[in-house]
Amino acid sequence: MPASGRWVRCLGVAAICLLSELALVACTGLQQVVPAPLVFEEQSQKILEIAPMGTQKEQAIQRLNAAGISGEFSSSPSIYYCDLWEREDGKRWHLNVALLFNETGELYKTRPAQADVSWERTADSATEAERQ
């Protein structure tokens, strides 16, 4: 196949891929998920406005789902990770809140779902490591 034919074929394949992706976005209303513009404490406060401390597990999940917040339980049924908040304005926020339920199924605590880990060493930790 001549070089110009390959070029036309590549453009055709690229156009089909682009049109397919646009059709998917148009049909599903797929929007980009962005990190929530709220710090953990603010995210936790908003969630607790929907499902206050002491709320039973099933009721808490129902309230969160009704508000557009979805998530999943860890391997333990006592920790629910709030993952996505589909807001009324169409924005989709990634959340960083875990809900902890006690043995009677009541919400008793929130904590960050993901640890804040940094690979950068501060001057103090570098000095401490050198002393050891």
Whole-number Å distance between alpha carbons of 65 and 69 = 5
pLDDT of residue 25: 46
Which positions ≥6 away from 31 have C-beta within 8 Å?
A: 90, 91, 92
Residues paired with residue 63 on neighbouring β-strands, in sequence order? none
Work out the average pLDDT over 17-31. 50
Q: How do residues 45-89 score in pLDDT, each as one tens digit?
A: 999 999 999 999 999 999 999 999 999 998 889 999 999 999 999
DSSP state of 88: T
Lowest mean pLDDT among 5-9, 21-25, 45-49: 21-25
pLDDT bracket for residue 31 (50, 70, 90): confident
- C-alpha distance from residue 47 to each of 23, 27, 73, 117, 126 (Å): 34, 30, 16, 24, 38
CA distance 94 to 37: 9
